[in-house]
Chains A and B, each alone.
Chain A
């Protein structure tokens, strides 16, 4: 059963962080100036943030979490759970979440672990963290999520190099009697190869040939440690599953688009996201984007869009939100939640 509610939890705060480094798609040398404009028009991505070689996802998440905890004025010893959702962890082991427990000055009683998910990660993470709080009696949790795709995408892969940006986010979730989040989640591992990095795990270990550049056609050169993105399969998956999961959740809650203040979808690309919006018959003014300035930032894309596009509204009062993450796995998670005057500091840049 992919549909469920998690009771007695609420989102208390949200922060996001991006690297200061910018890359402009209009100035890309991968494509001709005409093709650059065509790509910007289709994908909606004008600029992306690119971290330095030293900046890891955990650095972005740390900065977002530090800012959020200061803004919330939380006692850091009161946090019980820390979950880090990423495909770009610091090390194979240990879990980055454990290192972040120490770095953020949290207590040793914290339950900390990593979750390996990307584009669906924020909403899957909300379900994970919410479920733990709701069932254990623990009270305060941090969900950190994000990725640094600039480190895994081949700079000579024009099918993906201009799409992705680096970003990290932090969400504070607390136990709250009477509050609820409702989810529809799913996975389809038959499509695992649509987004993957072939070498470097234990299935295909890293060898000298992992770094050999291959020309795979259509302007794509990459090695076997780089991200492989099968745009057509991802496109078909997204158009097949995303409207279905959103409709399932809305149907379950008897919600019409009118009953939602803001829809925030994973920021995949403008062509695909707009097709999804039209299939769902959601008016354009209810759907929010940060694609233009940040590109696809994997699991950070939903919170980054909320922080940059909805911050004042989220801080000012009640907001009915429908969030949907979808992608690598392949996997998806959609949630409906209502927030009330959450703490949402401005975007952090490091």
Chain B
């Protein structure tokens, strides 16, 4: 799994986000489109693409896409 792919998947998971508009450093919780529904569609993407689950607390602890990716990477290698 690569951070580049994850950023593209993240963009695809949230309605109203332009392709290639986000980066690993994007603070996703500050996006206009970020809400509880967007959180669910991102979790759905993570489950579908990576077969991983992220808890609510883990998601809340992340501000950037990269931070979320790091949590996934740690889970994948665990």
Looking across the interface, which residue of chain B has its beta carbon closest to that of A43? B37
B35 contacts A by Cβ under 8 Å: yes
* B2-10, B18-26, B51-59, B66-74: which lies at the interface: B51-59
Q: How far is the CB of B27 from chain A (nearest CB, A)?
A: 16
Interface of B is mostly: helix
- Cβ-defined contact, B40 with A271, below 8 A: yes
Say whether B56 contacts A232, CB under 8 Å.
yes
B43 within 8 A of A: yes
Q: Does B62 contact A (CB under 8 A)?
A: no
Instruction: Please give, as numbers and ranges, the residues of chain B lying within 8 Å of A71 by CB-CB distance.
Output: none
Within 8 A of B (CB), among A183-233: 218-219, 230-233
Stretch at the interface among A14-22, A234-242, A340-348: A234-242
B56 touches A42 (CB 8 A): no
Q: How far is the CA of A231 from the CA of B36 in the complex (A)?
A: 8
Cα(A219)–Cα(B55), bound, Å: 21
Contact B37 A42 (CB under 8 A): yes
Instruction: Tell which of B15, B35, B40, B48 touches A235, judged by Cβ atoms closer than 8 Å.
Output: B40
Q: How many contacting A-B pairs (Cβ < 8 A)? A: 49
Asked whether any CB of chain A lies closer than 8 Å to the CB of B41, the reply is yes
Q: Is A152 an interface residue (CB 8 A)?
A: no
Of the residues A43, A219, A232, A278, contact of B39 by C-beta under 8 Å: A232
B55 touches A233 (CB 8 A): yes
A275 to B53, CA, bound (A): 13
Contact of B53 among A218, A236, A278 (CB under 8 A): A236
Whether A286 is near chain B, meaning CB under 8 Å from some CB there, is: no
CB distance from B35 to the nearest CB of A (A): 6
Q: In the complex, what residues of A have CB within 8 A of residue B37's CB?
A: 38-39, 42-43
What B residues does A7 contact at CB under 8 A? none
Most B-side CB within 10 Å, residue of A34, A219, A239, A278: A239
Which 9 A-B residue pairings sit nearest by Cβ, starting from the closest?
A: A232-B56, A159-B36, A236-B53, A38-B15, A218-B36, A42-B37, A231-B36, A233-B56, A235-B40
What are 24 A-B pairs with beta-carbon distances under 8 A?
Answer: A34-B16, A35-B35, A38-B37, A39-B37, A41-B15, A42-B37, A42-B41, A231-B40, A232-B39, A232-B40, A232-B55, A232-B59, A233-B56, A235-B40, A236-B43, A236-B54, A236-B55, A239-B53, A240-B53, A271-B40, A271-B41, A272-B40, A275-B47, A275-B48
